[in-house]
DNA sequence: AACATGTGTTGCAAATACGCACCACTCATT
DNA sequence: AATGAGTGGTGCGTATTTGCAACACATGTT
């Protein structure tokens, strides 16, 4: 039986005049187009195109089919419109979940831009520490900070999150005092993690730990107020005008930021548009996330 | 972008009312239909069918699409007809090659039926011992008697060919004479094979070999005329009214009959129709080929 | 003449779709 | 109840399809 999709390829090549141009239009690799046209012709036992050095030109049979196929495509776009929602515009709801810190500092801005561009789409944003279950479809899209995402989800790594050590900017004059920095303390997270780990923490072996604040946002505020040295994500610290890194100003990569969705939604136009949009948005702010926007004093 | 082929599945399920029935119509596994419908709905973000215990029932959206899709299918048949029509005129020819013996005894009858049902197809039948090259399109379809076909071709095993030992029916009365059978001789093929090989030959260790006839058809005639005991394919011997098997009437499997074509033609409708037709035809005569139609006297 | 840019094809590894064999469930018949 | 014939769903091994990258060839430019 005829493969309907083959006609789509036939039309694209017909109009574009070459395999490569058609491939771009169809957003697939040009080798795929080449092979599918060849396979289509084989299945018919007929040639639809003459191969010239400039590209593909329809044969007589190709011409005959072209008109019918073009008409079909036209009608098909009606179906598509009817399915995709009555407008060309995307509409409906997208449920998104994201960690509160990145949400506040960065992602919400991106979401706002998205809503501006697609006003019909309604975002249901859940800023939750708890990992919502994408498998159960509690959310359509998730931003997560992990090293490796679960393998049953699909998505991309958006950025490598860096962190660095910060102090309150208002204490900057004290830094010149000999021995002052050495007497400072970390701001602790929990009992177990009173001593920060990672290579960056080893730069300051003599720091002690004081306080316990198990929340990133509050850690930032505490640091801002001079309660100690905070290890904060660069996208928080570098952007905060009241914070400065301490010497030697280096940052350390810790986790990765991923955007994830369920494989079933891989072909869903609305979801994928959102994913692409946010991916691009975050890439635009990659420097901040990866701690490259800090300028040494 | 919409996958046009998904509509084909949508239509089939729509009409058949269940995944399994649609699968049969589409000649694919029902799991495939199930998964494609689910994936289609996921890509739309909307349901096209309600799942009931009796099967799939269209939703309101499904109804809307159904009309458009049904119309598209109708128009699509124009394309198909046009291609087929063109196919008839330009290359409405299938080149088939087959061994002469099976051709005469069985396959040609099937070909005749095929031509009757598809009068627009012209068969170019080459009954040749020499193996034509399917890769060079010297033939589109080949019937071959082998144990294992070359792996660069695709096809199916049609039957296991059996052979048995025959004598002229007119000599049947002599069989009652004590010791007559033991004095008979094989009809030889070539020098090297003057003594037949295989387990069936061992049943008659005392037979000598006489004559040399290197052609199956002529061997049959020779046997018919009482020149000796012939080892013949069952589809020749069992069907010949002038031949009978000798005791203990057993048959032995020797080669397999295959129908083969080039992978490039895997999707060629004409070829595949022919292959399917002939496969079915030969299956209908399987008993004869496999020597099960002989009734012991 | 060398080069860049256009064309389509092909080998190979990875992604994807498929068929098979099973399962769970519903419903009608025994 | 027990059975059988429907329904759809799922895990797994395999077959097909795809993308990538490297080609080979033609054409126009430097």
Asked if A12 has any chain B CB less than 8 Å from its own CB, the reply is no
Check A5 against B1: CB less than 8 A apart. Answer: no
Strand D positions with any atom < 7 Å from protein CB? 6-11, 17-22, 26-27
pLDDT band at residue A24 under the 50/70/90 scheme: very high
Check A4 against B1: CB less than 8 A apart. Answer: no
The size of the A-B interface in CB pairs under 8 A is 109
Cβ-based neighbours of B18, under 8 Å, separated by 6 or more: B54, B55, B56
Chain B, nearest residue to A45 by Cα = B268
Closest CA to B143 of B232, B236, B261, B290: B261
Predicted ipTM of the assembly: 0.73
Q: Decide: B200 and B250 in contact? Cβ < 8 Å.
A: yes
Q: Decide: B260 and B217 in contact? Cβ < 8 Å.
A: no
Structural class in CATH, domain B92-160+255-289: alpha beta
Q: Decide: A261 and A271 in contact? Cβ < 8 Å.
A: yes
- pLDDT > 90 fraction of chain A, expressed in percent and rounded: 18
Q: What are the pLDDT digits (tens) for A107-148?
A: 888 888 888 888 888 888 876 655 666 666 678 888 988 887
Q: What confidence score (pLDDT) does residue A38 get? A: 94
B56 CA vs C20 C1’ separation (Å):
23
Q: What are the pLDDT digits (tens) for A150-187?
A: 777 888 888 888 888 888 888 888 878 777 877 788 88
B9 CA vs D1 C1’ separation (Å):
40
CATH superfamily of B162-254: Periplasmic binding protein-like II (3.40.190.10)
Dihedral over Cα of B151, B290, B202, B231: its sign: negative
Q: In this structure, which CATH number among 1.10.10.10, 3.40.50.300, 3.90.1150.10, 3.20.20.70 belongs to the domain A4-83?
A: 1.10.10.10
Average pLDDT value for chain A:
83
Minimum distance, in Å, between the CA of residue A42 and any CA atom of chain B: 6
Q: What is d(CA B187, CA B223) in angstroms, rounded to the nearest whole number?
A: 8
- For B4-90, CATH gives 1.10.10.10
The CATH 3.40.190.10 domain(s) of chain B lie at 92-160+255-289, 162-254
Q: What is d(CA A127, CA B213) in angstroms, rounded to the nearest whole number?
A: 89
Tokens coding A85 = 């929602």
Q: What confidence score (pLDDT) does residue A85 get? A: 60
Q: What are the pLDDT digits (tens) for B6-51?
A: 999 999 999 999 999 999 999 999 999 999 999 999 988 889 999 9
Q: What confidence score (pLDDT) does residue B136 get? A: 56
Q: What are the pLDDT digits (tens) for B204-261?
A: 666 767 677 777 778 888 888 888 888 888 888 888 888 888 877 878 887 888 898 8
Check B1 against A271: CB less than 8 A apart. Answer: no
A54 CB-to-strand C distance under 7 Å? yes
A29 CA vs D18 C1’ separation (Å):
8
Q: Decide: B9 and B22 in contact? Cβ < 8 Å.
A: yes
- pLDDT > 90 fraction of chain B, expressed in percent and rounded: 18
Q: Which of chain B's residues have a Cβ under 8 Å away from the Cβ of A80?
A: 2
Q: What is d(CA B6, CA B35) in angstroms, rounded to the nearest whole number?
A: 11
- A216 burial type by CB count under 10 A (0-12 exposed, 13-18 middle, 19+ buried): buried
Residue environment code for A13-40, b if the CB has 16+ CB neighbours within 10 A, otherwise e: bbebbbbbbbbeebeeeeeebbebbebb
Q: To 10 degrees, what angle do helices A30-44 and A4-16 make?
A: 120
How much of chain B is helix, strand and coil, in % rounded to 5?
Answer: 45, 20, 30
The CATH 3.40.190.290 domain(s) of chain A lie at 89-297
Cβ-based neighbours of A127, under 8 Å, separated by 6 or more: A97, A98, A99, A100, A103, A104
The CATH 1.10.10.10 domain(s) of chain B lie at 4-90
Residue A26, pLDDT > 90, answer yes
Q: What is d(CA A90, CA A170) in angstroms, rounded to the nearest whole number?
A: 48
Structural class in CATH, domain A89-297: alpha beta
Check B42 against A267: CB less than 8 A apart. Answer: yes
């Amino acid at each position: 039986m005829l493969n309907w999709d083959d006609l789509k390829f036939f039309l694209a090549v017909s109009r574009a005049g070459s395999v490569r141009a058609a491939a771009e239009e169809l957003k697939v690799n040009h080798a795929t187009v080449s092979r599918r046209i060849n396979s289509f012709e084989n299945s018919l036992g007929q040639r639809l195109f003459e191969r010239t050095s400039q590209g593909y030109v329809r044969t007589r049979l190709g011409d005959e089919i072209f008109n019918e196929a073009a008409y079909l495509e036209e009608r098909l776009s009606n179906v598509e419109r009817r399915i995709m929602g009555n407008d060309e515009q995307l509409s409906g709801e997208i449920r998104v979940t994201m960690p509160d810190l990145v949400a506040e500092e960065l992602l919400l801005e991106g979401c706002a831009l998205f809503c501006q561009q697609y006003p019909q789409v309604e975002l249901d944003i859940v800023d939750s520490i708890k990992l919502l279950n994408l498998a159960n479809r509690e959310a359509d899209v998730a931003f997560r900070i992990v090293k490796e995402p679960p393998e049953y989800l699909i998505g991309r790594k958006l950025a490598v999150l860096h962190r660095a050590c910060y102090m309150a900017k208002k204490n900057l004059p004290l830094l010149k005092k000999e021995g002052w920095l050495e007497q400072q303390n970390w701001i602790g997270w929990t009992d177990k993690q009173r001593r920060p780990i990672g290579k960056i923490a080893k730069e300051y072996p003599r720091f002690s730990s004081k306080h316990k604040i198990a929340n990133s946002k509050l850690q930032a505020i505490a640091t801002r107020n001079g309660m100690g040295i905070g290890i904060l994500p660069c996208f928080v610290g570098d952007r905060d005008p009241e914070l400065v890194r301490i010497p030697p100003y280096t940052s350390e990569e810790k986790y990765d930021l991923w955007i994830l969705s369920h494989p079933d939604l891989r072909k869903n136009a609305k979801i994928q548009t959102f994913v692409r949009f946010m991916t691009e948005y975050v890439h635009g702010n990659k420097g901040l996330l990866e701690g490259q926007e800090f300028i040494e004093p």
